[in-house]
Amino acid sequence: MELSNRQEQIIEIVKDNGPITGENIADRLSLTRATLRPDLAILTMAGYLDARPRVGYFFTGKTGSELLTEKLKKFKVEEYQSIPIVVEEDVSAYDAICTMFLEDVGTLFVTNQKSQLVGVVSRKDLLRASIGNQDLSQVPVHIIMTRMPNITICEPEDLLLDAAQKLIEKQIDGLPVVNRESDGLKVIGRLTKTNITKALVELGRDQHL
Ligand code: ADP
C-alpha cells in the first residue's frame, strides 16, 4: 500500500510542527478532524507517527524501509509453518516416493518408533536411490536419508529470518519445526522456501501497515 498524497502531506506537517494535535493538522489542510481520522490511524499503525494523549502527533523519524525491516524481524516461524509430512524409518523408498506425490511435498521427515526425528528425505535422495538397479520397495528410507545429528532444524519461536538464513546457508529446501522434549525432537511443522515466499508477498502487499 502506497501512502496517499494527503498522508504524505500530513507527515510533512508533523515533521515540521510536531508535536501537533489532530485538530491543528486538520486546520492546516482545511479539512475536518473527522476526515483526517482514518489517515492518522493508518500513519500511526504503520509507525510513521506516534500519538501521545494531550500532546499530539509527532514524527517517529523512521523511514519506510526501517519500518519494513522492523516488521520482518517480528515474523516467527510458527506463524508461517506448514503441516509436516512424516514417515517412519522402516517405510520403503518406494512408499516414500508415493507419499511425496500424494502429499505434494518435496521433503519428508523421518521418525523412529518413539516419534523422534531421525532424518530427512528429499526428492534428490530418492532420485539417487533410483539410479541403481535396486528394488526401491526393499530399501528402507533410513538407508538413504540424511540423518541426525546432521539435520538442520528450527523451533516455532525462531525468527523467520533466521530460518530463511539456514535454508540459504545449508542449500536446502525445508526445515523441520521441532519441539525439544525430554526424549528427543518432536516434529510439529515444516518450514519451506514456499513459506518464506508467502511471508515476503504478505510484507510487500501490505508494506505500510
Ligand atoms: P533436493 O536436493 O531434493 O532439491 P534439498 O535441497 O532440500 O532437496 O536437499 C538436499 C540434501 O540435503 C538432501 O540430501 C537432503 O536429505 C538434505 N536435507 C534436506 N533438508 C535437510 C535438513 N533440514 N537438514 C539436513 N539435511 C537436509
Task: Give, in degrees to the nearest 5, the angle at Cα 209 between 58 and 61.
Answer: 30
Structure confidence at residue 209 (pLDDT): 45
Angle at which helix 160-170 crosses helix 193-205, to 10 degrees, equals 130
- Locate 122 and state its grid cell: 528429499
CATH number of 5-62: 1.10.10.10
What's the pLDDT at 1?
A: 61
Domain boundary assignment for the chain: 5-62, 77-200
Q: Whose CA is nearest to atom 25 of ligand 1?
A: 151
- The model carries a pTM of 0.79
Nearest ligand 1 atom to alpha carbon 123:
3
The per-residue pLDDT string of the chain (209 residues; one tens digit each, 9 = 90 and over) reads 678 999 999 999 999 998 999 999 999 999 999 999 999 999 998 888 999 888 899 998 887 778 888 888 999 999 999 999 999 999 999 999 999 999 999 999 999 999 999 999 999 999 999 998 899 999 999 999 999 999 999 999 999 999 999 999 999 999 999 999 998 999 999 999 999 999 998 888 864 44
3-state class of 170 per DSSP? helix
Q: Which CATH class is domain 77-200?
A: alpha beta
> Residues with beta carbon inside 6 Å of ligand 1?
107, 120-125, 146, 150-152, 171-175
Q: Which residue's CA is the nearest one to ligand 1's atom 5? A: 172
